[in-house]
Structure 1
Amino acid sequence: MLLTSHSVFETPVASRIYRSLKPELESQVTDRSSVEIKVDNSTLYLEIRSDDLVAMRSTLNTWLRLIQVASETADCLA
C-alpha cells in the first residue's frame, strides 16, 4: 500500500525554511518513506510517500517538527 501526504505552508520565510532543510533531503533515514520539498515564492510544499502507516507517521512527525523549528529560527532572524 502506498500512502501519500501533501502539506502546504504559506509563509514569508518559505525560501529560508527550504534552504535550511534542503541538506536533510540528501541523507535518507529509511527506505520505507521518501520526502520531497519545493518552494514557490512564499509557499513551501511538502510531499511524503510511504509504504506503511507507521513509517508515514514517523516521517510526518519528523518533517513537521523540522519545518516548525526552521520557521521559528527564520522568524527570529528576520
Structure 2
Amino acid sequence: SRSQSGGSVPKAKIPCKFYLQGTCTRGDFCTFEHSNPTTATATVFRPVSRDTRSSIPCRYFQRSICKMGELCPFSH
C-alpha cells in the first residue's frame, strides 16, 4: 500500500543498516527508517567487518572499481 504522501513505502521505526552504511539501494522503496543516526543507533550499527561479509564476491572489486572499500558487504 502507498503512504498518504505519494509513492513512498511506509517506513518502519527500525533504522536501515544499509542507509547508515551509505549502501542502501532501495531509496524511497526501503521499508526501514532513513534518518541521520543518533548516538544510540550509531553504536548499534558498525561498518561491515571481514568476518560478516557475504560469501558472494564483489563484482566491482573483481574489476578493481569497488568504491565501498571496507564497507562493502561483499567478499573482496
Larger radius of gyration: 2
- TM-score between both structures, scaled by the size of structure 1: 0.25
Larger proportion of strand: 1
Higher RCO structure, 1 or 2 (CA under 8 Å, sep 6+) = 1
